[in-house]
Structure 1
Amino acid sequence: MFNKNNSRDKKTNIDHVTINTVIDEGMLIKGNISGEGAIRIDGKVEGNIDLKDGIILGEKSEIKGSLKSNIIVVHGKLYGNISCRFLYIKSTGLIDGDIEVGAFEVELGGKYNGTLKMFDQEPQNKETHKSKKTLVSETAV
């Protein structure tokens, strides 16, 4: 009778990624983090984070720096820019910076202050654009 699908139960793409590193609550990291894996941050980081697989910011996290990854989930606070393919801003999430993303989802209560730039998920085929231009010019003649 009632729909039991709750938005909190919905899985994101990062749910299938192995978390390689955890920065626990109460920890402070000063410096940049980069690599191939995925990370969950519940503490504080002052620096840029560039990880291939994914970044999860827990509810108590506070980041001062830019994030770059395939998938980013924000439950905490980010003071910096984001560049990613998929972004999930959860109800407790706050982003104060610019976002460049392929696709994103914001839960009710999630916040961001900054500009948003979206790019295509699939690379554009230059031949398709060329053929359209050729077709237009041939039609005009």
Structure 2
Amino acid sequence: MVATLSQDQDRVLLQIGQVAFQSQVPIKTIRYYEELGLLKSSGRTEGKFRLFTPDTIKRITFIKRLQKLGLSLQEIAEILGVHDRGVAPCAEIKQQLEQQILEIDRRIAELMTLRGEINELLEDWTPPVNTTTGEICPILQKM
């Protein structure tokens, strides 16, 4: 069933299942996004199904894109809040993405340090001849 919203023009409203199908996002996720305020339904059917405007598909696509770029749902909510006030959130998005780059660089440095530690350990790896009671792997317990 497709409902319409009467305002300046008739707009087709989609049931939550249709939104899930078109956006390829589970219904449970759509409900969660609505609970967090990322999405807003436009009402319900007589059968209590949530109804959404077609723009909801674009909004979900936008949310998923920002998630893939590493932004949290809280950060995305802040960005969408700016948009919902009628302001283009491009400056906020740029700032968040710059922070993501700094975090990625920090994690890369941590991983490179860990890689070096593991390489050192493996270079000196000599299987033990015998172990003493209570030792799991003497090579690692020397550390």
User: Taking CA–CA contacts closer than 8 Å with sequence separation of 6 or more, which of the two structures ends up with the larger relative contact order?
Assistant: 2
Structure having the larger proportion of residues in strand: 1
Q: Using structure 2 for the length normalisation, give the TM-score.
A: 0.23
Higher alpha-carbon Rg: 2
Structure having the larger proportion of residues in helix: 2
